[in-house]
């Protein structure tokens, strides 16, 4: 009985876990389903009929595609800047001695512990007080996005770097490599998976952000802001097409990465 009880207990946890996983994944399935919806009216968010029209006319809703393009541009630039700045900081924090280490740790940690609404409002307070109230737009969004991505990059790259043996770099130095060569030939390739993960995380944080962006965007409209506006007026099914495309692209990237790392592991 106890053995059977334990077996059952084990599988109950697994079944509950799978149900929770279902709760996490059902909304994504709804997004995919709704991308084929043929809505009866603007205000109803029910599945009224199957159509391919949304996929064929993605850019029909006014401003939808321009908002996606803005989010892509901001996402790419913010990812680039945050990844470079954050990787440098992570290297300093793991591989170098400096004074004020705890202050630096705190400075990196605090933005992650601040609610978005507070971070967004303080940035807005800064921009307005500095006289940039009329210039809110592309550059203020970019500044904000680099800020909230930066901490996540530092933490991700630090975790990867902390797992690497510094002896590898010392060995390179013993073999007469200078700091530059050591970095590009030894450290960078080893840390690269961490940097890549940090960049992907940054991009998805940036592409997804609404609360901070909405406060600092001025007249610009990013994709999440478009969705927000649409939710007040009637939701065009095309936003679900964009959601589905993003999902498929990201899933493909993750699965390819997984496949690549398995192949590399097999070769070793």
Q: Rule CB under 8 A: which of 173-212 touch other proteins?
A: 179, 204, 207-208, 210-211
User: Under the criterion CB under 8 A, does residue 159 sit at the interface with other proteins?
Assistant: no
Q: How far apart are CA 72 and CA 196, in angstroms?
A: 17
Count of other CB atoms within 10 angstroms of residue 169: 19
User: Under the criterion CB under 8 A, does residue 1 sit at the interface with other proteins?
Assistant: no
User: Under the criterion CB under 8 A, does residue 149 sit at the interface with other proteins?
Assistant: no
Cβ-Cβ contacts under 8 Å for 54 (sequence gap 6 or more): 35, 36, 37, 236, 237, 238, 240, 241
- Closest distance to other proteins from the beta carbon of 200 (Å): 10
Q: How far apart are CA 64 and CA 16, in angstroms?
A: 39
User: Under the criterion CB under 8 A, does residue 138 sit at the interface with other proteins?
Assistant: no
User: Under the criterion CB under 8 A, does residue 78 sit at the interface with other proteins?
Assistant: no
- Closest distance to other proteins from the beta carbon of 67 (Å): 11
DSSP annotation of 178? -
List the interface residues with other proteins, window 17-46 (CB under 8 A): 17-18, 20-21, 23-28, 30-31, 34, 45-46
Residue among 59, 126, 90, 50 at smallest CA distance from 199: 90
Tokens 């992650």 locate to 112
| Selected range binding other proteins among 49-57, 72-80, 140-148, 185-193, rule: CB under 8 A | 140-148
List the interface residues with other proteins, window 49-68 (CB under 8 A): none
User: Under the criterion CB under 8 A, does residue 8 sit at the interface with other proteins?
Assistant: no
- Rounded to 5°, angle at Cα 248 from 73 and 63: 40
Pick from 105, 135, 163, 188 the residue near other proteins by CB under 8 A: 105
């Amino acid at each position: 009985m106890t053995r059977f009880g334990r077996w059952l207990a084990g599988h109950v946890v697994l079944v509950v876990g799978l149900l929770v996983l279902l709760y996490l994944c059902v909304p994504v399935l709804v997004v995919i389903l709704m991308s084929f919806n043929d809505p009866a009216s603007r205000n109803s968010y029910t599945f009224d009929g199957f159509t391919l029209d949304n996929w064929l006319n993605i850019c029909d809703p006014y401003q939808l595609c321009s908002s996606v393009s803005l989010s892509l541009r901001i996402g790419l630039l913010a990812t680039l800047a945050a990844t470079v700045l954050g990787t440098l900081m992570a290297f300093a924090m793991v591989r170098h001695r400096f004074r004020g280490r705890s202050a630096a740790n705190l400075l990196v940690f605090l933005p992650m512990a601040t609610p978005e609404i507070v971070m967004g409002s303080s940035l807005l307070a800064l921009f307005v007080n500095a006289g940039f109230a009329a210039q809110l737009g592309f550059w203020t969004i970019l500044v904000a996005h680099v800020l909230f991505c930066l901490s996540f990059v530092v933490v991700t790259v630090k975790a990867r770097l902390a797992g690497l043996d510094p002896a590898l770099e010392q060995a390179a130095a013993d073999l007469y490599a200078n700091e530059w060569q050591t970095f590009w030939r030894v450290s960078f390739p080893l840390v690269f998976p961490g940097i890549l993960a940090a960049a992907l995380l940054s991009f998805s944080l940036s592409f997804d952000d609404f609360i901070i962006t909405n406060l600092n965007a001025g007249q610009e409209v990013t994709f999440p802001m478009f969705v927000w506006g649409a939710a007040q007026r009637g939701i065009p099914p095309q936003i679900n097409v964009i959601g589905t495309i993003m999902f498929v692209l990201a899933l493909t990237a993750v699965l390819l990465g997984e496949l690549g790392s398995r192949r590399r592991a097999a070769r070793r």
